[in-house]
Structure 1
Amino acid sequence: MGAPEDDKTRVEAAPRPEGDDLPRRIGRFHVLGRLGVGAQGQVLLGYDADLNRRVAIKLLRGTGGPDERDRMRREAQALALLSHPNVVQVYEVGEYANTLYLAMEYVSGSTLHTWVKNHSQREILGAYLQAGRGLAAAHSAGLVHRDFKPLNAMVGKDGRVRVMDFGLARGELATRSPEENTVMRAPTAVLWSGVTEAGSLMGTPAYMAPEHWNGEVVDARTDQFAFCVSLWEGVYGERPYAGKSTEDFRAVILGNKRREPPAAAKVPSWLRQAIERGMQGDPAQRWPSMAALLAELESGTPRRRRRFAAAAFLGVGGLVVGDVAYENLQARWQADACWDGGQELVSQWETARPTAQAAFVAAMPALGERTFRRAATIVDEFTAGWASAKSKLCMMPRIDPRWSSDLVGRAEECLLEARWAFESTLERFVAADAAAVQHAVAAVSDLPPPTTCLDLSYLARQSPPPADEQVRAEVLRVRQALRQVRSLGATGRFQEGLEQSRKLVTEADAVGWRPLSALARFRAAMFASDVTDLEQAETWLEEAMVLAAETGQDSLLADIVTGMADVVGGRMARHEEGLRWAKLAQAMTVSLGEADTVRGTWVLNILGLIYLDRGQLDEAEEVMEQILTIVREELGVDELEMAGPLNNRGNLHYRRDRLEDARVCYQRALELFERILGPEHPDVALALGNLARLALDRGDLDGAERLGLRALAIREQTNGAESLEASHAQQDLGNIYRSRGESAKALELLERAAVGAAKALGAEHPEVGYALLSLGELHVQRGDFEKASRFYSRALGIFQASRGPDHLDVAPALTGLGEVALGRGRVAEAVRHFERALQLYAANERPRDAAWARFALARARWTRKASQAEARELARAAAEELTALGAAADRAEVDAWLAERGK
């Protein structure tokens, strides 16, 4: 298949000159042009016709022997396994014309070197944080870049930074200045730096660490040095080491002759000190890891940093405190007991890492290694952040008078709780089973951010600990148990979590400290909601709400009210009540200053889903767009927190018959879930189920079956065969088999789905109504109108009682009853049902369903000779509507009906 006709393939590559020497194809890729050329090879622009995307193809000049090619291929394949939003993705490695090629993600944008020239210091730091995350991910996967610099990171037009050229050939090498060129003295340094011979030199002089110049072993700390040189260059506008030749750079870097920054540069001293530590000549004096450096940089960004501005004096010298005092003392802290004390978790993690990694691989050989790398990157960031917060807290009472003993105590308990969460998760990692592996990324993503523990406003909102030491000890014991139980939810063990949290409610009440009783009930309620014991969840939330309000726990109270909105308005479908709770919770997040944060999107998500369920589509769309904007600005487009909102946005598009928009959202959510959580995670089944329904609507029954079977397997494995989640997958797959005409399979699955939903939610819940609709459709198809009528009538009663007579969900029940009436020859009754369904579909912005209702009405009218002309016009109108919606298969069915009746 050739390249498409549109402009997607006509990009920045220079046009092919007459008689050029470029190949037409390399492997399965069409070659469109040349992006760059250098001593080691060339970079071509290619087109992947199978996946309709552009690629960058690195094609080498040299060959090397078979062993060398095998080693290079293995290293390139290792890089291909590294899937991270801030690393250019490697798609394929292969051989062409007796040399190697690498097909990689094509990034349209500019290098970081060029991009920084037109952006603010804050934006530059944000871009480098992204690049640093890419390096940290590579380090977690056992890869070292060896040649990081601003020219080896691209800033895409979407604002996302990707690190590239992990020791691979680059284009346009011959056109660069000496300090920009890469020194490559090893004959084997052809494709991948990881296979360069010992003692060889490979890197860019201006960014090379001392150990690199000395031919010593390079590791992640070498990348850290190059990263800090690059960041210095970005924020100061010039490199820290001046030189015009390779020997110049060797002399100044080995001699640690760093020049003073420009006098006019306004770079905070905390940022300068963080960068300078990363450029220490001795690797042991640099940051312990890229994750540790990134945690320090993130703690100083405007979004997270809390400026310490109080003034006081410390000792005889009378140092003014605040940021200046902190920054002046920072270097000293790193060498004393405060710094050492902060390293406890880092050491604990490094000690346990090999055991945990082995447990992951043993539990799931195919998935474990990749999942562990993803989880380990997050743990690296957490432990580094905890170490930084712990070290800072150690010094706060000495430099800032606002840090009273009470606040220090609250901060210590906050860090202690974060440590409990980490240790509980780590305990499950070192003894990981398949379920722990599947939920690992979600579990570590749920770890509390340590930076919160230094937020004075947050600490001030927490209840002071009990004065009685014995009571305080008991409170800490129960809180530790609650945190450990919470990790059960993060690993999908909801029933076990409910059983343990129920006991902890009793234990909390026995302690007699009301804030603890409120927290215990809230945690237990969330588990009860997870296992659909909704009445118990509501009871605990009501009790927790009173206790939290009485004890002034504003932040916890906001969480409880949000949980109530979810349980009552979302899961129990009491929409009016749920909306009131959601709007109250939304007001509370505004009061707490969290309305525009990722944490604040929890209530927005619930609000949007209630609007969607009520058919208030404009309101739902406004809220969902707000969520996506917040997450995009806070975290970026490739974080896990984007997946849920994208999935919900897809549901909105589906409701509005924007099927292609829905597919794009569902597919993007699936990609994020699979990449970050792993292919067997329950959230993957959520996206698969949505895509299966879309495939069914499009008439792709084979594709729908594949998706549906995979979703059901995940649900039954992770949630249980009789769970509510499994019933959703059973219903989807049952509807697929019904459409394929496999009646027996469909009946078994749909009956299981109806029983499962009723058992989980109660016989009057709308979810049960949906299952009954599917059974009604199946029995109409089987010609059993008596059973079909019973199922449709029962569903209609449920929807009218729970949703109201004008809700969208009433329409399919009416349509079903119309089909039953038509099958029994009761034409007037059928017309009445179809007309009412058509009104509801039109009122609820469902044009495709409205077209089908119009066609059903046409079929009913045709049975009476006097109304056949009207029937023909109704069918033609339905056909035109389906054409406008791009529903070709549906239009064909209507056309066939018209053709049989002479149009």
Structure 2
Amino acid sequence: MLAAGAQIGRFQVQALLGQGGMGAVYLAWDPVLERRVALKAIHLGEDGKASAKTRFRREAKVLAQLNHRNVCQVHDWVEARGSAYIAMEFIEGEILSKVAERLDLRRKLQVLRSIAHALEAAHAKGIVHRDLKPSNVMVDAGGQIKVLDFGLARLVDSASAPGDDPTGDAPHLLRLPEPPGGEPTVVVPATPGPEERTSVGSASPSPASSSWGEVTEAGVFMGSPTYASPEQMCGKRVGPPSDVFSLGVVAWELLLGDYPFPGKERARMTATVQGQLKPLRGRGLPRHLGALLRAMLHRHPDKRPTSRQVAEAIDHHLAGKPAVWWVAVALVALGAVFGGGYYLFGRSIIADLVKETPPRMAVMPIRNDTGDPVLDAQVGVGLTELLATALQGSPNMTVVEPESVNRVISNLRISPADAMKPASQPRIATALGAQLFLRGALSRDPAGQANMLTYELVDGAGQARFSGVVRAPRQGSFAPYELVDPAAKDLLHKVDPLRSNAAQNLPVPPGVFAAYAEGKALFLKGDFKGSEPRLQEAAMLAPAFSSAVSAYAACLRRLGRDQAPAVANWALMSAKATGDRWAEGRALALKAYLAKDLGHLDESQKLREATLTLAQAVGDRDGETIAYNHLGLIAAERGKDKEAGEFYERSLKLSQQTGDQVYLSLAQNNLANLALKRGDLGTAEALYRNNLSLQQALGNRWGEALAQNNLGVVALMTRDLPAAESRLTAALTIRESVGDRVGRITCLRNLGILALMKGDVAESARFHGRALDLAEASGLRTIEAECRFYVAELDRLQQRYSQALAGYRKVFDQLSEGVTPEVRWNAQAAGAECLLRKPRPDVKQAEARLLAIPAREADSPYVHRAKAWLASRTGQRDVALAELARASEDSRRQAPEIRAELETLRAALLAEGR
């Protein structure tokens, strides 16, 4: 170890920068050229040191001639104190593994292109890196990519390598002892067999927890086993293709978040040598990039692209053009293998439906015909979800997320039993905008010795495109994977004949699967208390089973449990660890909902933006639609109506493209809400009426209630009280019948406003009291604050000013800054009015409260009403009348219920002036 101030040749050591397998790295000063350098000590070893020096000098000179903007420049070499040192360019920045999570897809591809260019420059000079990995790639302060340590693995080995073999053959890695530590693990089933390679419960560690799985054993193996090529592991001669393979591993991890080969330690090395690459289907990676990764990671070096071809392929992708080299290779291969047979055997069963966009396919709940009710949940929920997940990723069709199917079934109020009937399923598919749906049933053979999954792919016209049956021997516990994997493989082959086989599931233990399925079934029925222990059991027994952890977190959210955010974090980590991008999106969305529930809008917005980016990366159009809608809700709650409208328009456009009628209606409704808010009643009413017709056609009782409620609000604003009462009563009846608690709160609140407009204060108080009780029980702070505002308004109206003032203060405190700002500042203004109307008015304090209201929130009938009282108390009668006129104008018709009160106050002021 060198101390600060030590002299190595002309270089003055300043500090130790780090220690690695190749030796220590120091920050040093070059007094001749007046620059900082990184000084790397190379351990040559004791044996053969004399012969090593000649080779070291020769190869270091070659490295110094490698001059490229993406390569860390070698400046000099020094032999001092019995060791060798390389003086290199000092780079201020971070290693790739530290910045990876902050990069979007385009930036990641640019990074990979830069690394490929660096390799191209080195290979042109006959230099092979031999140890490419994320810690050998730096991103400097200006965003420039620099690859470090070119050829240093070769230099490290040069001391002990016999003769002068430039290929650097190494010992066979698979014959070395197991490494001592190993990687972090999570609880998963026993090691899978050779056909069980992917799952929502994969045990692959996340990049964050494993530091990209880097293991370096200097002096034993030239390179890091995690990134080594098969030829390196087998001790064979290495060349430029080995670097391309390592870049392929780096690219896989950077783009997908896990390792490309299954298993751990020796099992992983075996898989690497044998070329057992994990499937890419369902990972959301663009097709051309997937083809590039597979080519780079080919087990045979001569079948990998060159580094230049890799850079060109990425260039073509970034430019939006196909990469010529692999398209040509693919066409030649297909021509040789299939020839004219493609037209006989290679046509997809849904080729006529694949036009500008792939058709949407929904997996319907599988029916349990075994006669064993114990399997109801495992079949209807668990088996269905597994099948949908296994089918994701085909470029010829878009599989609707199981969560979306369940949402539609819930919104349409279709019972679980009816959802499994063929008669109900076209209606579900129509609501989802699906042109295809898969239905099936689980039964037993006549002898009762085998389970049989029969399935049928049906188009919108009711025509069966494909049907099949899979059999599996009955075991002690139900094993759905033995049925799902072959069914998914067969279906995907028929849909996309020329692509590789389906990804297969890595099974979780039967008991865990049963607990998850039963808990999820109860959750979907709305029995959150009943589902909690079952989902908790599944999550605790298999913490890497991301679907179970996400469902458990969602259940805790519904129950209002304090630990919901922590479990949502766990769900996110589990999804990242398993590389399940779809599950990662669900976990992020859940965290966004939780943050919004708690009024943390900044956090909710950031999380929603993350889900949007992820959905776009994996091609999840439904996820995009949901994200835009939620971002609109967040913007609306902040009072940013223009921004909210833009988000809703994007959600509307996407839902029109996908044909999802439920999200189409939701976006339409939210746009109508904005029109209502700005006082454009004609537009709002037309949109609400369209929405009502759409919901009634779908048979969506929940959506019908929403439309009826909103039309009731329009009637309130136009003072058509009979129509308002009819609409709102109808909405409340539907919402009570379907168990919509939040919807009931809204209806009760609006009926309270209606009662006040009719002059029945006692009836209004009953409605508002019921609404507040439900809101408090639900734990929804924003809705509770809105209900509390109306209760305080009734106290103020009945001249209970101290009570009203306390209520307004609670509203103001419950709504943090930026959360439904109009309600917050209306409460501030109403509180100021109470101070003015108390027996002993506090004019100074009231005036201070009104002055604190931002100008953008001051044009509100409640604010103008309070200002009228302030002007009245200070003897400014004309100002008071002007403020009352502004309050009565109420261009956005925010407060139709105070119109009569304003008229009474105006009459009193006019009478005083006579």
Normalised to the residue count of structure 1, the TM-score between the two structures is 0.50
Normalised to the residue count of structure 2, the TM-score between the two structures is 0.49
Determine which structure has greater relative contact order: mean sequence separation of CA pairs < 8 Å that are 6+ residues apart, divided by chain length: 2
Larger Rg: 2
The structure with more helix, counted as a fraction of residues: 1
